Amino acid sequence: MDPDLEHLKQHFPLLDYLLRHNWTPCRRSARQELVGLCPLHRDTRPSFYVNACRNLFYCHGCGQGGDLIRFVELFLHVPFRQSVAHLRQELALTASSVGAAELLTRAAAFYQLQLHRSPEAVRYLESRGLRDFAIIEELGIGYAPGGNLRRHLTSLGYSSELLRTTGLIGSEGRDAFCRRVIIPCREDDRIVNLYGRSIGAAFPHRLLPRSRGGLFAWQSVRHNCSVILVEGLFDLAVLWQSGFRNTTSALGTHLTPVQLNQLCSSPDRLLYIAFDQDENRAGQQSAQQLARRLKCVGVTVRIVRLPAGHDPNSYFVAGATAADFAACLKGAQRL
């Protein structure tokens, strides 16, 4: 066999491909094969068998079987060569997203180290009510003093070109997050983006030009029977610090389809929306819209009212206690 094809098949197991395309095994056979519904024909009784060790499949319903390339031929109705080209492309995409996650992890670690060397950043965190170093550590909060990120990352072997395409450095080679407090956004423990809050005169919010992922820290929040949704990560940070660990954020008021699906994933969940109480009522209107939308799909929603002009962060900075916020939750508006 062509060594190139052998390499492709080794680096792209059949089972990975199937799982990535939403195939769900429902049991294991006596011969340790995974069994599920066949993606190739209208199957009602699981008849699709996958041997993960040998990288082969066989369907007892439609009689089709073979390796990954054969599966793609049948699945996408394409000839052999197109099937191989498709797999090569998918493999390259996986490699580049793994590479980017690794790069973002390195950048985040660098920023985290800088935080403790930057009194101006620590003062900023204090001004936003964040004092608990365990929370700061847990959220992986860092600081970009500017200037030295590129040198650090190129010394680790990353090309300036890659740093530019990721958006970490600008066209003049400067740190794009210069003078920003950094909070990494994670998805399944992998960093997918970095949020940077300006501590100077620059536009307050900045994300890298890539997906911000699902809801913030959803892994740790999703199992709670009640969830608090806030706009910003500093709202989230002070709420976590005050014991409301069931708080998540969509980084704004406009939820992506992925984030909406996450909120709808459990019918028993009670959702509190605690958006900003803006003078122009933007936050309140977004909260109402979102609440109506979620109510339609069966989520129980309450809208939290804070004193005028406040968001959860400023409310705590102004001296509110956990008991005050709990009272706001208790008095939240039902829909």
Interface ranges with Zn ion (CB under 5 A): 38, 40-41, 59, 61-62
What's the closest the beta carbon of residue 46 comes to Zn ion, in angstroms? 10
Contacts of 54 (CB under 8 A, 6+ apart): none
Contacts of 280 (CB under 8 A, 6+ apart): none
CB-nearer residue toward Zn ion: 45 or 151: 45
What's the closest the beta carbon of residue 53 comes to Zn ion, in angstroms? 21
What's the closest the beta carbon of residue 87 comes to Zn ion, in angstroms? 20
CB-nearer residue toward Zn ion: 62 or 162: 62
Give the start-end residues of each E strand in 32-163: 34-36, 48-51, 56-59, 65-66, 142-144
Q: How far apart are CA 330 and CA 137, in angstroms?
A: 30
CB-nearer residue toward Zn ion: 61 or 167: 61
CB-nearer residue toward Zn ion: 23 or 158: 23
Query: C-alpha dihedral over 261, 262, 264, 266, to 10 degrees?
Result: 140
- What is the token pair recorded at 48? 């699709």
CB-nearer residue toward Zn ion: 62 or 270: 62
What's the closest the beta carbon of residue 36 comes to Zn ion, in angstroms? 11
Task: Check if the beta carbon of residue 305 is closer than 8 Å to that of residue 277.
Answer: yes
What's the closest the beta carbon of residue 39 comes to Zn ion, in angstroms? 8
Q: How many CB atoms lie within 10 A of CB 249?
A: 27
